[in-house]
Amino acid sequence: MQFSFSISELIEICTPIETIGTVHVSITGLASLKHAGPGDLSFLTAKRYRAAVADCNASVVLVPADFDGEPREDQVFLRVANPSRALGRICAQLDRLLWPRPEPGVHPSAVVHETARLGKDVIVGPLVVIEAGAAVGDRSWIEAGAFLGRAVMVGDDCRLGPGCRVLAECAIGNRCLLHPGVVIGSDGFGYDSSAKGHEKLPQVGTVTIGNDVEIGANSTIDRGRFAATSVGDGTKIDNLVQIGHNCVVGRHCILCSQVGLAGSTTLEDFVVAAGQVGFAGHLTVGSGSMLAGRTAIYSDHPAGSKLKGDPPLPLHQAQRVAALMKRLPELFGRVDDLERRALAES
């Protein structure tokens, strides 16, 4: 990627608490403390990397407000309240430079039904299909190959990446970002099983996505059986996440890659599920709960739960069990030795 920021531009973007040092170069790269060189910008977030700043060759380093080191003659330190957030603001500027927004309009190869409604300054990319009765809000961007089914509603300032599929009757709020390959409103997985086989149960509900939701590449959200599968405002969903029919995901949840929600799972607000957490379905996890990677959830858990493992245990207990498991060979050896002694004495 090619870009260039002057020091003054970085200062304007980051609004540092303090600027230490002077250097007259353009910043043309981003790199870690270990790999940065002249012309690069780097950053310090975790305390364990503080010692690496002294050996860093970056021209500019974002450091936290309490960092007490001094830059070299060819460096500038920008003391900021939150280096990660400051870097995020820089990357947001980069995003606009590297992937500029096209001019509003409908590409000639797109197919837009005559009854579909497009708001002001909408961008409709190549080979997009928008079916009857669909509506796209102001300034939204529908990228190449996306599909909006019958009566789909997309809010203002949304961006739907290449190959997204939003199927009939589903609704997406304002300022949502759907990465490539997302499928909203796929058929819920419902069957009535008997000795004769599996009879399909039609899924005739919808999906409702709130405002400011981000959904990662190739994630899928199934439509409800007869009501709506829903995702609350501000929730962020990673790549390859599956949300089953009739699930309710609250506000500002975080679902990391390969999380799977079986049907009728309810996650209340601010739940965090790390990678590969699985939910058995027809259960509720309370607000603010945190679930460690690969945890299996089979039943309800109250607000504020911190769980790990399969079966899930309170986090501190699970960590203690993990530590004790390392000692099992030693403990079994001691038990065997005690048995041998007991038999010898008897």
Same domain membership, residue 235 and residue 136: yes
The whole-chain average pLDDT of the chain stands at 95
Query: Among 19-23, 88-92, 116-120, whose mean pLDDT is lowest?
Result: 19-23
CATH number at residue 315: 2.160.10.10
- The β-bridge relationship of strands 306-308 and 313-314 is antiparallel
Residue 324 lies in a domain: no
DSSP three-state, residue 296: strand
Residue 205 lies in a domain: yes
268 confidence band (pLDDT: 50, 70, 90): very high
Average pLDDT over residues 154-166: 98
Q: What are phi and psi of 47, to 5 degrees?
A: -60, -30
Query: Distance between CA 125 and CA 102 in Å, rounded?
Result: 9
Counting residues of the chain whose pLDDT is more than 70, the rounded percentage is: 100
Same domain membership, residue 128 and residue 213: yes
Say what the pLDDT of residue 1 is.
Answer: 65
List Cβ<8 Å contacts ≥24 apart for 148-155. 148/116, 149/185, 155/211
Helices (H), the chain: 7-14, 83-98, 315-325, 328-345
Same domain membership, residue 277 and residue 259: yes
pTM summary value: 0.88
Q: Is the dihedral of CA 4, 6, 8, 10 positive or negative?
A: positive
234 confidence band (pLDDT: 50, 70, 90): very high
**Exposed, middle or buried, 333 (CB in 10 Å: 0-12/13-18/19+)?**
exposed
Same domain membership, residue 91 and residue 47: yes
The pLDDT of residue 60 is above 90: yes
Last residue of a domain, one of 66, 98, 130: 98
Say what the pLDDT of residue 101 is.
Answer: 92
Say what the pLDDT of residue 337 is.
Answer: 85
Residue 2 lies in a domain: no
Residue 344 lies in a domain: no
Same domain membership, residue 139 and residue 73: no
Say what the pLDDT of residue 258 is.
Answer: 98
Say what the pLDDT of residue 131 is.
Answer: 98
Q: Which two tokens stand for residue 15?
A: 């609004």
Residue 152 lies in a domain: yes
Residue 38 lies in a domain: yes
Q: What residue has token string 């004769």? A: 196
DSSP three-state, residue 165: strand
Same domain membership, residue 184 and residue 85: no
Same domain membership, residue 292 and residue 159: yes
Last residue of a domain, one of 65, 82, 98: 98
Average pLDDT over residues 74-95: 94
Active site residues: 245
Same domain membership, residue 219 and residue 127: yes
Say what the pLDDT of residue 97 is.
Answer: 84
Which residues span the domain enclosing 224?
105-319
Asked whether the beta carbons of 21 and 71 are under 8 A apart, the reply is: yes
Query: Distance between CA 178 and CA 172 in Å, rounded?
Result: 10
DSSP three-state, residue 261: strand
The pLDDT of residue 239 is above 90: yes
Average pLDDT over residues 299-310: 97
Same domain membership, residue 309 and residue 175: yes
Per-position b or e across 117-144, b if 16+ CB within 10 A of its CB? ebbeebbbbebbbbbebbbbbebbbbbb
Average pLDDT over residues 96-119: 95
Same domain membership, residue 167 and residue 150: yes
CATH number at residue 14: 3.40.1390.10
- Name residues whose C-beta falls within 8 Å of residue 304's C-beta, 6 or more positions apart in sequence: 286, 287, 288, 289
Say what the pLDDT of residue 334 is.
Answer: 87
Residue 17 lies in a domain: yes
The pLDDT of residue 62 is above 80: yes
Query: Distance between CA 317 and CA 314 in Å, rounded?
Result: 5
Same domain membership, residue 222 and residue 238: yes
Say what the pLDDT of residue 76 is.
Answer: 95
345 confidence band (pLDDT: 50, 70, 90): confident
Residue 235 lies in a domain: yes
The segment with the largest mean pLDDT, out of 63-67, 112-116, 192-196, is 112-116
Closest CA to 207 of 187, 179, 189, 191: 187
Query: Distance between CA 323 and CA 230 in Å, rounded?
Result: 39
Average pLDDT over residues 165-189: 97
Phi-psi category of residue 56: left, alpha or beta, with phi > 0 → left and psi -120 to 50 → alpha: beta
What type of residue is 141?
Answer: W
Asked whether the beta carbons of 216 and 241 are under 8 A apart, the reply is: yes
Say what the pLDDT of residue 23 is.
Answer: 85
Say what the pLDDT of residue 333 is.
Answer: 84
Average pLDDT over residues 269-273: 98
Count: domains in the chain: 2
Average pLDDT over residues 15-38: 92
Average pLDDT over residues 36-54: 93
The pLDDT of residue 8 is above 80: yes
Same domain membership, residue 186 and residue 305: yes
